[in-house]
Structure 1
Amino acid sequence: MLIKTVNGKTPSIPEDCYVAENATIIGDVSFGENCSVWFNAVIRGDVNFIKFGNKVNIQDGAVIHCTYQKHATVVGNNVSIGHNAIVHGCTIHDNVLIGMGAIVMDNCVVESNSIVAAGAVITQNTVVGAGTIWAGVPAKKVKDIDQSDFAGEIERISNNYVMYSGWLKEDK
């Protein structure tokens, strides 16, 4: 893994987090508890800060960045950022799934209990309302989530990634 200080800012990673051997984390980046950063993920807090809550998983090949002098990136609790997703200069609230290959652009807000579908592009300044699913390019709301069906699903995924990372920690 490459953990690098930039402009006097060093990533803050609790001991219970898992970081894959070839992940890159630089600059002003802080993690909550039980997070995981998977293979080939890049998290660059070089031009602004990036803050993650608890039980966030950044899956293989994802890129997390921020916008110079404009937009930090803030991610809440129980968030899954799918394989090869891009999250840039935005705010993601709690219990959110960002699908594989999705892009969330500058100054967007993804509210709690929402899903950004695989391959979706959330364009600059968009607000993804709580309890909704967005899909397409550019992404649009496709449906409201029935909270009775949704209850616990995002947390289940977050908990699974805590379990998966535990397997790799055990095999050191």
Structure 2
Amino acid sequence: MLYKFDGKTPRVSKTAYISETATVIGDVTIGDNCYIGHGAILRGDYGRIVIEYGTAVEEGAIVHAPPNEENRIKDQVTIGHNAVIHGAVIEKMAVVGMGAITSLWSEIGEGAIIAEGGVVKARQIVPPMVVAAGNPVKIVREVSEKDTEFWRWGKKLYIELAERYIQHPMEPVTAVYPPSD
């Protein structure tokens, strides 16, 4: 659901998919070919959220911005299931793994990968093309060609999934129970 708040209305590309069970509030801009998954929450109530082309915000993720500031997620970023993105800048092609957290004013470099459950501290900067893991995250290695190929495939998968959801919207159904013996 999209909600106007404090005079600010979400702006969404016609080619973006937002689940009917997601919540998008206030000053939020969602670009072309984005996927906003079921149960995701994007709170543009204090600050502004900008999500650029081809980004996937997967199920249960929360995105928020500090008061009067911007949380910018650039082209073809993957935000994993149940991740928390708070006041970060995430450069293009980066990945924030499932359950990971990016804290206030953190920065994730282009193509960087934050491992599942990783915690990026306030003001921490993760350089481009590295894999970072832990709490707080530390660089564990450089991004490999195999990583890049996998995440290109994953990003394409979510762009195509957004298209499928737009073409074939979800429909409520009544539960079907198997016959009893």
Task: Name the TM tier (shorter chain).
Answer: over 0.9
Q: Percent identity?
A: 28
Contact persistence 1:34–1:55 (CA under 8 A):
yes
Q: Deviations over 1:24-71 (max 9, x none)?
A: 0011100111001010000000101000110001000000001113x4
Measure, in 1, the Cα distance between the counterparts of 2:3 and 2:99. Answer: 26
Detail structure 1 runs of 4+ shifted over 3 Å in the superposition. 148-153
Measure, in 2, the Cα distance between the counterparts of 1:105 and 1:163. Answer: 30
1:161 deviation in Å? 0.3
1:94 deviation in Å? 0.4
Measure, in 1, the Cα distance between the counterparts of 2:67 and 2:149. Answer: 36
- The number of residues matched between the two structures is 169
Contact persistence 2:103–2:122 (CA under 8 A):
yes
TM-score, with length taken from structure 1? 0.94
1:93-104 equivalence runs, <5 A: 93-104=91-102
Equivalent residue of 1:9, what SS?
Answer: coil
Residue number in structure 1 paired with 2:20 = 21
Larger radius of gyration: 2
Contact persistence 2:80–2:96 (CA under 8 A):
yes
Residue number in structure 2 paired with 1:10 = 9
Contact persistence 1:131–1:145 (CA under 8 A):
yes
Q: Deviations over 1:133-157 (max 9, x none)?
A: 01011111111123x3344443322
Equivalent residue of 2:43, what SS?
Answer: strand
Contact persistence 1:79–1:154 (CA under 8 A):
no
Residue number in structure 2 paired with 1:55 = 54
Measure, in 1, the Cα distance between the counterparts of 2:53 and 2:164. Answer: 19
Residue number in structure 2 paired with 1:133 = 131
TM-score, with length taken from structure 2? 0.89
1:72 deviation in Å? 1.6
